[in-house]
Amino acid sequence: MTNRALPVQALLVVDVQADAVRGDRAVPEADRLVERTAELIARARKDGALVVHVQNDGQPGAGDEPGTPGWELHHTVEDSPTEAVIRKLRDDGFHGTPLGGLLRDSGVRALAICGVMSEMCVQATARTALELGYRVVMPHDAHATHDIPAAPGISGPVPAAVVSRVAEWALGSDLEVLAHAADVEFAAPGPQDG
Q: What is the pLDDT of residues 20-74, one digit of tens each?
A: 999 999 999 999 999 999 999 999 999 999 999 999 999 999 999 999 999 999 9
The confidence score (pLDDT) of residue 92 equals 98
As a whole number, the mean pLDDT across the chain is 95
Q: How confident is the model at residue 5 (pLDDT cuts 50, 70, 90)?
A: low
The confidence score (pLDDT) of residue 194 equals 39
Mean pLDDT for 86-92 is 98
From 121, 160, 171, 181, active-site residue:
121
The confidence score (pLDDT) of residue 4 equals 54
Q: How confident is the model at residue 190 (pLDDT cuts 50, 70, 90)?
A: confident
Active site residue 114: no
The confidence score (pLDDT) of residue 193 equals 44
Q: How confident is the model at residue 78 (pLDDT cuts 50, 70, 90)?
A: very high
Is the pLDDT reported for residue 154 higher than 60? yes
Query: Which residues is 83 bridged to in the sheet?
Result: 51
Cα–Cα distance, 57 to 16 (Å, whole number): 12
pLDDT digits (tens, 9 = 90+) for 102-122: 999 999 999 999 999 999 999
Cα–Cα distance, 45 to 39 (Å, whole number): 10
The confidence score (pLDDT) of residue 6 equals 86
